[in-house]
Amino acid sequence: MNTTGNTILITGGGSGIGRALAEAFHALGNKVIIAGRRQQALDETTVANPGMSSVQLNIEDPADIQRVSLKLASDHPALNTVIHNAGIMRPENLLDPKLSDAEATILTNLLGPIRLTAALLPQLQKQPNATILTVSSGLGFIPMAVTPTYSATKAAIHSWSQSLRYQLRSTNIGVIEIAPPYVQTELMGAAQAVDPRAMPLKDFIAEVIHILQAQPNATEVLVERVKPLRFAEAAGPEKYSAFFNQFNDAMNHPH
């Protein structure tokens, strides 16, 4: 991926990792369009970054995805990059399940990127070069038991990204997966944004951009902090099981 000269759509672009990626790519000279549910967050981001555009999008709604894809084709015909960043993360008690949380997580984190990719593919195929970036998670490789559906959707995004990359191998569209570690955002509330166990957001974004610039043909973007999770299974079943238990025990206890 070339990190400059693109027209980029970033879902979930009004806060957290999405906003930070939007601002980083905007600073590199890309045309950035942020999408999200909350108009106020979109407006705050675009006001702080003159030249950035926004479009309101309910990623759970197939009709809204179609509406936005048509608007993008009309308003931003040079769109050649999409970053599937929108996501929700909710704790679940599987002994007393609240299925609405699981269903909303699947709709947003998994069906959203699948539907939006399908809607944008005709436009992306018209570009000389295009890129689809998915945002999975270290939790796609070591699930956090308290967020089982979130972790499962991120494992699915990793798998789906591989299949998408393979099926698009003869086209002009590349597929890159970004797998964040635990990052200081408000994804699970204000406490996460100041949790010292989490990677500072600014450091995460800087390392992601560095990897994309240094490795333009990368298919996975893995900062150093996520590698213990990404490659845990390579140590074998016994060590993986021990690491899984140790990791979940540690995350169950507030710092």
Tell me whether residue 166 is one of the annotated catalytic residues. Answer: no
CA separation for the pair 212, 58 (Å, rounded):
29
> End-to-end CA distance of the chain, in Å?
38
Per-position b or e across 57-92, b if 16+ CB within 10 A of its CB: bbbbebeebebbbeebeeebeebbbbbbbbbbbbeb
CA separation for the pair 89, 220 (Å, rounded):
22
* Three-state SS annotation for 127-157: CCCEEEEEECCHHHCCCCCCCHHHHHHHHHH
Task: Kindly tell me the burial class for residue 166, based on how many C-beta atoms sit within 10 Å of its own C-beta (0-12, 13-18, 19 or more).
Answer: exposed
Q: Tell me which of 150, 166, 182, 240 is the catalytic residue.
A: 150
CA separation for the pair 236, 160 (Å, rounded):
24
Contacts of 255 (CB under 8 A, 6+ apart): 195, 196, 197
Q: How far is CA 119 from the centre of its chain?
A: 18
CA separation for the pair 70, 60 (Å, rounded):
17
- Phi first, then psi: what are they for 178, rounded to 5°? -105, 125
Q: Which helix (H) or strand (E) holds 254?
A: none
Q: Report, as residue numbers or ranges, the catalytic residues.
A: 150
